[in-house]
Structure 1
Amino acid sequence: MVRTPLTPEERERGERLGELLRAARGARSMVEIAAGAGISVETLRKIESGRIATPAFFTVAALAGELGMRLDTLVEAVGQVPEQAAPERVA
């Protein structure tokens, strides 16, 4: 499967996500966080370095849970979802 190239904005969001997760991890080891989230250390390393700029939702949710972070906090810190991809809200 050929993946479409990421936009500069997507790459930048991925880098911000990585920085935020790395900061939230603090002194805890990558091994501890990855094991708790059910992902490989290499996957966590790639996310934190921005090499996986668009990780799967469930991966981000697992990391947020392991780090004690709220998903809405991540969204606010990393950047909003593009309008065309955002679901419509019911009032």
Structure 2
Amino acid sequence: MVRLPLTPAELERGQRLGALLRRARGERSMLDVALAARVSPETLRKIESGRVATPAFPTIAAIADVLGLSLDAVWAETSRPENVAADRPTLVTAHVSG
């Protein structure tokens, strides 16, 4: 199977996703977050750095859950137009689980 090159928009979304996850992770170690999300630290590192611009949905869902991010917040951050992304501060919405 041949994978098509990513578009500039897909690469930009990957960068925004990585930045969001890094901010949400804060002071937590990459290893702790990766293990809690049941992904490899290398996978998390690649997503956070934008090297994996289109990670699988279950991977993002698991990482978002560990970081307390709603999937709505992740979607809002990664799907907004590029010209808006540079002009607006990022809103991170966390959910609290009981």
TM-score (norm 2): 0.80
Give the Cα–Cα distance (whole angstroms) in 2 for the partners of residues 11 and 25 of structure 1. Answer: 21
Alignment correspondent of 1:65: 65
The answer for unaligned runs of 5 or more in structure 1 is: 81-91
State the identity as a percent. Answer: 61
**Displacement after TM superposition at 1:13 (Å):** 0.1
1:22-61 equivalence runs, <5 A: 22-61=22-61
- Runs of 4+ deviating beyond 2 Å: none
Distance in 2 of aligned mates of 1:7 and 1:44: 22
Structure 2 counterparts to residues 72-83 of structure 1, below 5 A: 72-79=72-79
Where does residue 92 of structure 2 map in the other structure?
none
| 1:2 paired residue number | 2
The residue type equivalent to 1:23 in the other structure is R
TM score, norm. by length of structure 1: 0.86
Structure 1 residues 42-78: Cα deviation after superposition (integer angstroms, max 9, x where no partner): 0000000000000000000000000000001110011
The CA RMSD measured in Å over matched residues stands at 0.8
Q: Which runs of 5+ in 2 are unaligned?
A: 81-98
- Which amino acid in the other structure matches residue 49 of structure 2? S
Equivalenced residue count is: 80
